[in-house]
Amino acid sequence: MALQFGTYYTLIFAAVVLLVGKFLVQRVRWLREFNIPEPVAGGLVAALVSWGLNLATGVQPSFDAGLQNAFMLVFFSSIGLSANFAKLRAGGLGLVVFLLVVIVFIVVQDSVGVALASALGLDPLIGLIAGSVTLVGGHGTAGAWGQVLEQQHGVRGAVTLGIACATFGLVIGGLIGGPLAKWLIQRNDLRGPQANGQAGALEAGTPNFEFPHKTRIITADAAIETMALFAGCLAFAEFMTHFTAGTAVQLPTFVWALGGGVLIRNILDYVFNFEVFDRAIDVFGNVGLSIYLAIALLSLKLWELAGLAGPLVVILAAQTVVMAAYAGFITFRVMGRDYDAAVLCAGHCGFGMGATPTAVANMQAITNQYGASHKAFLIVPMVGAFFIDLVNAVAIQVFIKMFG
């Protein structure tokens, strides 16, 4: 029996999840010590309550997916609106190197999935579903490619399987990123700027999302202007999604939202010389991030994950180990073995197993304790939200041609 909650109730529950997560992180020592993001802490409690309700009564709570999607688009729009060319240049060589590290990881992730699926007697394409299709790709990519694999390659239940794997990845990505970064920081005796000394750190060059709990002073006029910018991004994303449907340049809607933000921001900056109010974009973006994660975790159907086949559990467990090992031994070393590299590892675990919002939440959990990492907050949102989807689409197509 389904219990459907509408838009308003979904928003209320999401706010409660965030408040519960904040309370738990403040009161439970090990959550703070392992840098578990607040939406993940609160969301898992809500998911466990839903699971208990399902076991006891058979009721399956469900929440407004449209609201979740809307806040996801707001978050990605905020990434684009904060990415003027000056900030992209600031990412510099580090952005290129990190992108190369991530490209290699996608190949590793898909190779592990396909190899284990074959060894366990499964269709190799199921291993691809338990690879970058769902882990790097997330729920949107899982749904899109799941339909392709079902209709064109005969993989039965690919969409359902993909959503389950993506859900697993979203949870695990939020659980392993913080502890891994903390371990790297302590093991290598790294030093970041202390979080309690950042009150005056909100200078013009600070990347968005870096200090989510700091007070931002914004006006009603700035809020209205910013809402108009977000509306422009969403309108652009909707138009381009329909315009490019079925073409070679078809991309997920959130990529168009991010791209629209980049276009609007830089046209306003360099053509009209209009000063975009970054603090308002930051507030809107962090709100979108938090509510998206809260609804995503609130919507977890743990009873579906509990029913995953044994071989698939083996593949996903192996992917978790591979992700942690790759980030800890490859990403960390290639990116410089310093504090910024440790924060980048937290972000890599977030979108390598789940989604870019999880990556940002992981990094926030670390920087709230140890201090700012401008480099990580410049690089991860752009790589995880934009470049990675283009690269992942190519990698998936190559593997399908090889094993389909």
Q: To the nearest whole number, what is the mean pLDDT of the chain?
A: 85
Task: Give the span between the Cα atoms of 259 and 375, in whole angstroms.
Answer: 21
Q: Tell which wins on pLDDT, 39 or 86.
A: 39
Task: Give the span between the Cα atoms of 80 and 264, in whole angstroms.
Answer: 8
| Per-residue model confidence (pLDDT) at position 263 | 92
- Strand residues in 39-175 grouped as ranges (E): 60-62
| Per-residue model confidence (pLDDT) at position 306 | 63
Cβ proximity of 63 and 298 under 8 Å: yes
For the chain, the maximum distance between any two Cα atoms, rounded to a whole number of angstroms, is 61
| Per-residue model confidence (pLDDT) at position 196 | 41
Distances (CA, A) of 137 to 93, 212, 313: 25, 25, 18
pLDDT at 6 over 80: yes
H helix and E strand count, the chain: 18, 2
How do strand 2-4 and strand 60-62 relate by DSSP bridges?
Answer: parallel
Q: Which amino acid is at 305?
A: L
Cβ proximity of 192 and 185 under 8 Å: yes
Task: Give the span between the Cα atoms of 180 and 187, in whole angstroms.
Answer: 10
Over residues 219-246, mean pLDDT = 92
What tens digit of pLDDT does each residue of 276-288 get? 888 888 889 888 8
What tens digit of pLDDT does each residue of 158-214 get? 777 887 888 788 889 988 999 999 999 999 999 877 544 444 444 445 565 666 666
pLDDT at 109 over 90: yes
Residue 252 binned pLDDT confidence (cut-offs 50, 70, 90): confident
